[in-house]
Amino acid sequence: MIIYAGAVTDTTSPAPSVFTKIINGEIPGRFVWADELCVAFATIAPHTDGHVLVVPRQQVASYVDASDELVAHLAVVAKRIGRTQTRVFGTARAGVMVVGYEIDHLHLHVLPIRGEADVAPAAARHDVPDAELDAAMERLRAGLREDGWGENVPASLGSPALT
């Protein structure tokens, strides 16, 4: 910690990640889930329709740095979303990946899959039109409400706020 003329600068805190900026509304996001510990929003490079990231609100660098309680909560949220994805998008399985090299903020990829090829890095689509991403997320949001998770579906697609 460095103190300059009465101001305190915490040099141990990392700069806000792109995910923290999305959660804080500094960068747009497409939110499908929110609670006190985490949010889920669309990835901009989905492998399949409905692919989301489950991200803790607290900026934790990696999976192994998170508390056991946080990891357990993220896993439960990923399971709930995955169950809805399989129904809404008509797949037999939901895939979950924890990779984390591109952004130093823990996140779980949760996506409806038809086979292992859907989780291969080459499956990521980088030019998905905004309208297509919006439509997929609205389908997932509606499905989560139908499955009884309405209290965790944010009031609007563009915000993690519940009301």
Q: Which residue numbers are catalytic? A: 107
Choose among 138, 137, 136, 113: nearest CA to 123.
113
Query: How many whole angstroms separate alpha carbon 118 and alpha carbon 97?
Result: 11
- Which of 23, 35, 33, 48 lies closest to 133 in space, CA to CA? 48
CA distance 116 to 89: 16
Scanning the chain, the segments in alpha helix (DSSP H) are 18-23, 68-88, 130-144
